Amino acid sequence: MSTPDDILILLAAGSAQRMQATVDDKITAPLAGLPVFLHSLKTFQATGLISRVVITYRNEEQKARMLTMLAAHPNGDLRIEFVPGGDSRQDSVLAALTACEGHTGLVHIHDGARPLVTAEAIRKVREKAHEMGGAILAGRAADTVKIAKEHSASVGSSPDRALVWTAETPQVFRTSIVLKAYRKVSELGRKVTDDSSAVEFVGQDVALVENPSVNLKLTRPADFVLAEAILKTR
């Protein structure tokens, strides 16, 4: 295998508002014997693709907890650094990407609250990003999707379900492309909720890579129960 050169940006600065105060910090909460963020970190490391990890953090207390947890679960020669997160996911990603400026390879942007991602899925989306410059892990919509009328809760349209995908992470891009995109949307004051949206805005095609595995994002308390059950079957 060639020397790894990809960067992983692991987003850990979220507020966990929808956890209904049952979990103070879902990123460092225990899940099947490991803190949540370490599940993803160890899976990415197992691919042999990653040379450097940039973790965004919410505050100094959270950063200290993660450092303690990393010390308890060594990660070999993997280079890990921390960058303060911003007020939004978009701000956090831009801060992390800025720390990667000058990197000529690929960057994987992953939500720290998605501990179920598999090495197979990471390799698949990375391969397509290497080919096209950008690719995201995604799932085909299982339900019919409704688009609401503006400023209304009534149905405006019903898109063809065969064309609808749900975006997941990791989302993988050439670092120079996604950094340029985030700087552009920031300069214009545009708001994006995922990395692909920023990259699409500057005219770069982004491939959809179907994920064959469950890639749940921990959002509500019940998600921890489901994620633990899934991890026990692997």
The verdict on residue 142 lying in a domain is no
* Predicted pLDDT of residue 151: 87
Q: What SS3 class is residue 126? A: helix
- Tens of each residue's pLDDT in the chain, 234 residues: 567 899 999 999 976 655 555 567 999 999 999 999 999 999 999 999 999 999 999 999 999 999 999 999 988 889 999 999 999 999 999 999 999 999 999 999 999 999 999 999 999 999 999 999 999 999 998 889 999 998 888 998 999 998 999 999 999 999 999 999 999 999 999 999 999 999 999 999 999 999 989 999 999 999 999 999 999 998
How many residues are there in the chain? 234
Nearest CA-CA partner of 174 in 120, 226, 143, 129: 129
* Predicted pLDDT of residue 22: 59
Q: What SS3 class is residue 74? A: coil
Q: What SS3 class is residue 138? A: strand
- Supply the pTM of this predicted model: 0.94
The verdict on residue 52 lying in a domain is yes
The verdict on residue 152 lying in a domain is no
* Predicted pLDDT of residue 75: 83
The verdict on residue 126 lying in a domain is yes
Q: What SS3 class is residue 156? A: strand
The verdict on residue 155 lying in a domain is no
Phi first, then psi, for residue 171 (nearest 5°) are -115, 125
Alpha helices in the chain (DSSP H): 36-46, 60-72, 89-98, 119-132, 175-187, 195-201, 221-232
- 221: domain CATH number is 3.90.550.10
State which residues form the domain around 191: 6-137+167-232
* Predicted pLDDT of residue 3: 77
Domain count, the chain: 1
Q: What SS3 class is residue 168? A: strand
The verdict on residue 149 lying in a domain is no
* Predicted pLDDT of residue 1: 52
CA 199 to chain centroid: 15
The verdict on residue 100 lying in a domain is yes
The verdict on residue 103 lying in a domain is yes
